[in-house]
Amino acid sequence: PPITSSHLPSHFMKGAIIQLATGELKRVEDLQTQDFVRSAEVSGGLKIDSSTVVDIQESQWPGFVMLHFVVGEQQSKVSIEVPPEHPFFVYGQGWSSCSPGRTAQLFSLPCHRLQVGDVCISISLQSLN
Amino acid sequence: NVEPRSVAVFPWHSLVPFLAPSQPD
């Protein structure tokens, strides 16, 4: 099932306090690409992947969008369904969603429009080999 | 005087999607 809005509000709400892996505290709207990269570096077992948006479609679930990514060096195809207000962090750009207006309305979080070709930050488990 | 209030703190990794491709057999 898709991720529902009820899972979203608190940590994407403007002003939400985020703890980086270094222990540093930042507001969600102040996060920068380097904060995620550095956090992954000091986290055991997690790695940052570059996930490029290759397609954005309407979902079969009303009120959702289906996002298609190619992920990491392997260029694996991964699809997820999210509400259009769900923010993703785009490298060098910051928070972006399919519906920046709705994100601003619900979370007061300033967002760019997420587009095909954007490279988002995602995480996966670090390979043990 | 303002009483200190507890504030929720969220871990950084809760903000980014976990996009792990399913492993081929």
**How do residues A28-60 score in pLDDT, each as one tens digit?**
999 999 999 999 999 888 899 999 999 999 999
From A73, A78, A32, A34, select the one nearest A53 (Cα to Cα): A78
**Interface check A70 vs B, CB under 8 A:** no
Q: Would you list which residues of chain B are within 8 Å, Cβ to Cβ, of chain A?
A: 7-21
Above 80 in pLDDT, residue A129?
Answer: no
Q: Which residue has the higher pLDDT, B21 or A3?
A: B21
Q: Which residue has the higher pLDDT, A90 or B19?
A: A90
Alpha carbons A51 and A49: distance in angstroms, whole number: 6
Alpha carbons A88 and A12: distance in angstroms, whole number: 10
